[in-house]
Amino acid sequence: MPGESSRGLISVAPFDLRQDWKFLGVCLLLGLAVRIDFWGANQFVVDSDEAIVGLMAQHIAAFKDLPAFFYGQHYMGSLEALFAAVLFLIVGASSLALKAVPLSCSLLLVLLVYQLGVEFGSRGAARLAALFVALPPQMLVVWSGMARGGYMEILCIGSLALICGVRWLRLDSPWLRHTSIVAALLGLGWWVNNQIVYFALPLVFFMGCAFLQRPFKTWAERGRQISQHAGAALAAFVVGGFPFWFHNLLNNFVSFEVVQRARSADMLEHVEGLVKSALPMIIGARRQWHTEDVFLGATPIVSGLTAYLLLLVLHRRRYQLRQLFMLRIDKGAPIELLILMIPIVLGIFCMSSFGFLVESPRYLLPLYIPLSILSAFGVLSAYSLNRALGVASCVGLLVINLASTYLGGRALPGEPVIFKGERVSKNHSELNKFLLDRKIELVRANYWIGYRLAFETEEKVRFSIFKQPETVRIPAYEQDAQRIGREYLPLVLVPGEARIVKRALDVQGIRYEEHNLSGYKVLINLQPVSLGLQPVRATQAVASASDNPLDAGKALDGIPGTRWGSARPQVPGMTFVVNFEVPMKLRGVRYELGEWTHDEPTELLMDIELNDGTRRTILGEGDYAQVRYLREHGSSMLFAFEPALVRRVRLTQMGSQQFFDWSIAELEMLQ
């Protein structure tokens, strides 16, 4: 253990669990109370990204699959899903059981941060740091219950690596197994989440400095020792992260595609976002996804207090910091390792392609390890200068942390937004029961609704993705939908979306049954009347167009490989007209784009002129946009209407397009 005489040490005391277990018990109870209160008020609701971890756990527990990574990507290992699978086997699958995994890790982190404080030389700082992590800012409270692929687990693994690393530094002659333990933990972390690099870089640097600092008889012996330990570390790193390397060996090292450096212009934006948004959230001055401070002036006040405490530590450790520039470290209490970690985290964040995530800066969560411990040392430094100042600093940090979570009510995370401010419903029980009772096994829904629906029904109801985001996590769902025919699957929509989709269905002659469930509009039994429609050869039809009229007939020649095109970019007022010399009884029109989907009209109106001279609107203003919203992909559109004796069909293009023409590969008349 570190000695009492280490230079610049703020407070030194040996670890004594008998003296601190009661305090740690209180910290754990406080931490648990805050987290249970917070997530209990949110009904332990999971979002779809969490639901994917839950689905992975269900598959593992049922021995259906053993994924190496988060479904749909080749990074963020499946350790969290493995833990959840064990819990599911014991208590059954549920949102509460899923969230229990990160919640447990967040409480374990309290103990690990305490132990880190002890390893760095101060039981007093260890206590304070544990308290700061038990009652943290809203950002850490939120992520303490988010099963999103290992964010809490990586903090625990990183803290364990730091504990073992600091103990390694104090050994006069570390054995290879000591090096291997540290490296294996870093390897495990590399598989779980690449944020382990934040812990690895300062550790490797300090371990290298320790080798340079230790006395060796010859440089050859020093080199031999470094080579042996480096070899053991590399082997242990690979073994610790075995799932990562095994998966990548079989998949051309695809995980490394995600490791990308941001462009220079992006880095500047990342720095700006870091200063203005991300760091205020980390220190509790602002809440996740919010642009306003928790209270008036919170950012400068909290930033000032945090900076003051860190500066006190830097001042107390000024000698060790100067020594660090000469590659000499304080092996007894290497607090500079934590100091170095802060610029490493901030620098990598800004330089990486993930640096744009400043409104929910989960890639900065490892900052809580050095910030909590260094703030604790800063409070003790302030206390040594002035007792009232030290107490005020400690109380101030705790008040700020609690205010960020509770001021004005619990700062609960909102559900994901689906459409124009409309969010996923918090409770799906009514929807789930309806679908299960009706034995509806496959629906179309948004990503943020669908994966949660699949998890909560244990995949008795699956889904095909409707609209953005179109990220497919479980391809089997889409394959099932394609096999059955996704176009007429039941739809689960938020009300704003439903208004658009219902009009699009009406225009296309698709009947449906509507239900209001769990805040959604659920459209089932989609039945297209167009299934009975047949194309009719319009032998006495004459096509004309406002642009390129000589090619107008190609839209009626029955050959999909030909087309009529406007021969100039789209502008409002372009028309295409089909006149029938003998009126035809029609029930619909099919518009084929063929190979020219890029020439789709931007905004389309359609009307028909009846035999008696009256005109009927088939596509009014805004209708075509709604059809496009529902259609998503494909080159064919069908517009159905009540049977009528028609002598003219008119299409009017009302949008603007800078580059593309307006094209019609084929216009089929349907009876």
CA distance 624 to 93: 44
Across the chain, what does the average pLDDT equal?
A: 92
Q: 323 near 329, Cβ under 8 Å?
A: yes
DSSP code of residue 95: H
Which residue has 């001021």 as its token pair? 407
Q: What is the CA radius of gyration of the chain?
A: 32
Mean pLDDT across the stretch 475-484? 94
- What's the pLDDT score for residue 254? 92
CA distance 235 to 266: 36
Q: 452 near 428, Cβ under 8 Å?
A: yes
pLDDT of residue 5 exceeding 70: no
Mean pLDDT across the stretch 132-142? 97
Burial category of 351 from C-beta neighbours within 10 Å (exposed 0-12, middle 13-18, buried 19 and up) = middle
pLDDT-based confidence at residue 215 (cuts at 50, 70, 90)? confident
| 540 vs 379, higher pLDDT | 379
- What's the pLDDT score for residue 353? 87
* Token representation of residue 429: 């029980």
* CA-CA-CA-CA torsion sign (597, 599, 602, 603): negative
pLDDT-based confidence at residue 89 (cuts at 50, 70, 90)? very high
pLDDT-based confidence at residue 538 (cuts at 50, 70, 90)? low
- What's the pLDDT score for residue 17? 57
* CA-CA-CA-CA torsion sign (234, 237, 243, 248): negative
In terms of residues, how long is the chain?
A: 671
Q: 505 near 526, Cβ under 8 Å?
A: yes
Give all domains of the chain, ordered by start, each with its CATH number: 17-406 (no CATH), 422-529 (no CATH), 533-670 (2.60.120.260)
Cis link prior to 2 (omega < 30° from 0)? no
Instruction: Please provide the DSSP assignment of 143-184 as one string.
Output: HTT--SSSHHHHHHHHHHHHHHHHHHHH-SS--HHHHHHHHH
* Token representation of residue 628: 């496009």
pLDDT of residue 451 exceeding 90: yes
Amino acid at 199: F
pLDDT of residue 387 exceeding 50: yes
| 547 conformational bin, left if phi > 0, alpha if psi -120 to 50, beta if neither | beta
Highest-scoring range by mean pLDDT, 250-259, 325-334, 625-634: 325-334
